[in-house]
Structure 1
């Protein structure tokens, strides 16, 4: 199985040993961030720093001014990594070490954009805005995301790309000093709290035959018992059971209208983004989506239709950290993938973030038995020396 590890440019810039260290793990590819959200990241081996604070979502290359002229929504630059083109400099260093570089592009996850343009974000059934979650049904957001996908993906030296958050973002969000866990919200409730009621989405629901006001009231009614500590209706196990619980909470018809509108917005965005990348890229450039096989799921691994996504993308990167049953739930819908498609199992290898580098060989073997034909390791820059040693041993076993 071809293995790739995720990396930030700041893991490489200023550390001449980083490329060789990554190559020595036994990976063939570095998946390197070119457009990323705000974060505070550990750099445990860097000779000059230990913590990098990326204060807001930004591109890690110089954006092309003419492409963004006269646009309301445009990418932000950064000043926390030295040099005018950190992605380009890191790409050259990694390539010199014998690694293939693919860009890593975060799309519909941008808190600064939401703060600067509050009308452009998801608004839940209570009217609360989610600044970190641009509403992908809005025309100006879609135009921004599609343009960003092409520019941030097709960078000099990159041989392919992985598009993260290419779909709906919702309630779930790693946030500073978060205080939202007072009422446990399982998957079905997370979905209802992620549904958007901005004017564009409201009009879309009406066009499908149900006024937005009725849908909003249905969501509020469905959530009321949960705020009081009541149980979520049982829908069975796995992702299918999660959606069954949504229908039980909301009713089949309202849930169907929400799903139709949101699935259409996500599917058409994904197709447009992939097409824009292909139009800008040379022949042979691979385009993968970070994905979840349940179309209603929100977040970094955006929900997709498994039967549709591989008709236009070259593959998917799937969240496979967890037990065997969880891994099977993610991989099974892609069992009938086209021969040339990449189905990459993304496994966290940072112990401090819930990963299990010491079971990597077994987990990767299990994923392969379920149909995965590639590995993604999250995240080579964040992992400890001990974690990287375990990864190196596991990849040697799998070679």
Structure 2
């Protein structure tokens, strides 16, 4: 089973041992960030630094000025933290020299700087609060920006394929600085309601489906009123329907899945148009279509007619068996003979991963229809975690 490890360029650049260390894990491929959101990341083995602070969402390569000239929405080049004019190309060359195939990792609809500089691009909740980290994918200007970014960032010289993350709706959930959102337990369904967008474009979308946008926003606020008092553990589509009502839940889901689905199809087409033959296009996704975030909700029966496959978040350990089945089963049911169904396991113990159970987890994922593995994250993991991965991969 082909295994790929996620890597940042700064994990590799300036560390002469990094590429060989990653290859020694037993992986054949790396998924190397080419466009990424702001982050603060450990580099526990790097000879020059221990913490990298990427201050804003950036292209980790030189954006093409001809493509972006005169455009209001455009990617920003990386700052001093990238330590190279073309961080992706520099790291990719070292990784290829170690015998690894290199694919791009492109984060799309997750960009706090975009929302700060252009507030009208952000998701607006039913209370009128903007989420600057969450570009609204119904906004035509945002869609144009995302499609061009997908094509440019994905198809870097020497890349064999791409993985597109956050290609769909982003919502309330976000690891924000000094986050204080944990005071009221918000279950799966309440998170969905708080992620519904009521910007002018989405209001027009709801109206086009026969709803009064203000009445719909008021219904969301009414549904959330008892949640603010007591919290909620309502989950899944049944939980959303219980809070909002079946008719309104169906209408919001129709608008959001239609909007996300068309963007996903267009992004895949844009990447294929920029790439040569054989270039693989995968999406980080969740088969629950209402999901927001890095693993955007998809309809597998729809998107697998366009993309080469999906990368799916899989919990590790015996307690994660049900979660693995929930994400892999619906995708495997629609997979063709050449569809990539990649099970993505966190192998960083400090981030809740379970590298010690990777062999068993990978075997279970294969039984559920997984054809490949992804390991998050070769640069962030401690030495003991990487040792567990090296031990597990031959058996996996």
In 2: Cα distance, 1:397 partner to 1:204 partner: 50
Aligned to 1:17: 17
Which of 331, 334, 339 matches 1:334? 331
Q: Aligned-pair distance for 1:396?
A: 2.0
- Unpaired stretches in structure 2, ≥5 consecutive residues: none
Aligned to 1:178: 179
In 1: Cα distance, 2:145 partner to 2:232 partner: 40
Q: Aligned-pair distance for 1:162?
A: 0.1
Aligned to 1:29: 29
Aligned to 2:108: 107
**TM-score computed with the length of structure 1 as normaliser:** 0.97
Deviations 1:332-381 (A, max 9, x none): 10123111010000000000000010100000000000000000000000
SS at match of 1:52: strand
Moved beyond 4 Å, runs of 4+: 230-233
Q: Indicate how the Cα distance of structure 1 residues 393 and 230 shifts in structure 2: closer, same or farther if over 3 A, else same.
A: closer
Alignment of 1:302 with 2:302, yes or no, is no
Aligned to 1:90: 91
Q: Aligned-pair distance for 1:166?
A: 0.2
Please say if residues 186 and 231 of structure 2, whose CA atoms lie closer than 8 Å, have aligned partners that are also in contact: no
SS at match of 1:245: helix
Q: Indicate how the Cα distance of structure 1 residues 231 and 155 shifts in structure 2: closer, same or farther if over 3 A, else same.
A: closer
SS at match of 1:158: coil
Aligned to 1:121: 122
- Unpaired stretches in structure 1, ≥5 consecutive residues: 234-240
Matches within 5 A, 1:41-56: 41-56=41-56
Please say if residues 187 and 232 of structure 2, whose CA atoms lie closer than 8 Å, have aligned partners that are also in contact: no
Please say if residues 109 and 169 of structure 2, whose CA atoms lie closer than 8 Å, have aligned partners that are also in contact: yes
In 2: Cα distance, 1:376 partner to 1:186 partner: 27
**TM-score computed with the length of structure 2 as normaliser:** 0.98
SS at match of 1:228: helix
Q: Indicate how the Cα distance of structure 1 residues 36 and 230 shifts in structure 2: closer, same or farther if over 3 A, else same.
A: closer
In 2: Cα distance, 1:103 partner to 1:69 partner: 24
Please say if residues 226 and 232 of structure 1, whose CA atoms lie closer than 8 Å, have aligned partners that are also in contact: no
Matches within 5 A, 1:1-399: 1-79=1-79, 80-229=81-230, 231-232=232-233, 242-322=236-316, 323-336=320-333, 337-398=335-396
Q: Aligned-pair distance for 1:207?
A: 0.9
In 2: Cα distance, 1:335 partner to 1:32 partner: 26
Aligned to 1:236: none
SS at match of 2:230: coil
In 2: Cα distance, 1:252 partner to 1:128 partner: 25
How many residues align? The count is: 391
Q: Which is further off, 331-340 or 373-382?
A: 331-340
Q: Aligned-pair distance for 1:210?
A: 0.6
